[in-house]
Amino acid sequence: MASHQPIAETPLPTVHLDIPQNILDSARLNLDGIKLELALALYAQRRLGVGKARELAGLSLWEFRQILALRKIPPHYDTQDLAEDLANLRALGENL
């Protein structure tokens, strides 16, 4: 029987953005705050899904969804998402 070795994840390359401190100070933001604002904006523009947006913000899915609700940013949920959720529920039901 073949043993399965865990696949080592290769670190993804990162991009560095230089933002002058006086800009952050004027906006009253720190690095975490600017990442959150960017994540919210990209999510609201439908440029990022909730998973990648929350990853950029460095938050759990629950925390990110709470902030979306507080900011009154509607969730992205369409018929494709509904179909996937229904298929997952059916699969779970069959596995019980």
Q: Which residue in 34, 84, 58 sits closest to 76, CA to CA?
A: 84
Please state the length of the chain: 96
pLDDT of 13-72, one tens digit each?
Answer: 888 989 999 999 999 999 999 999 999 999 999 999 898 999 999 999 899 999 999 999
Quickly state the pLDDT bin for 5 (edges 50, 70, 90): low
C-alpha atoms less than 13 angstroms from C-alpha of 61 in its C-beta half-sphere:
5
User: Is residue 57 one of the residues assigned to a domain?
Assistant: yes
Would 1 be classed as within a structural domain?
no
Residue 15 in any domain: the answer is: no
| Tally of structural domains, the chain | 1
Residue 93's pLDDT band (cuts 50, 70, 90): confident
Task: Tell whether 11 is covered by a domain.
Answer: no
Give pTM, 2 decimals. Answer: 0.71
Q: Which residue has the higher pLDDT, 52 or 88?
A: 52
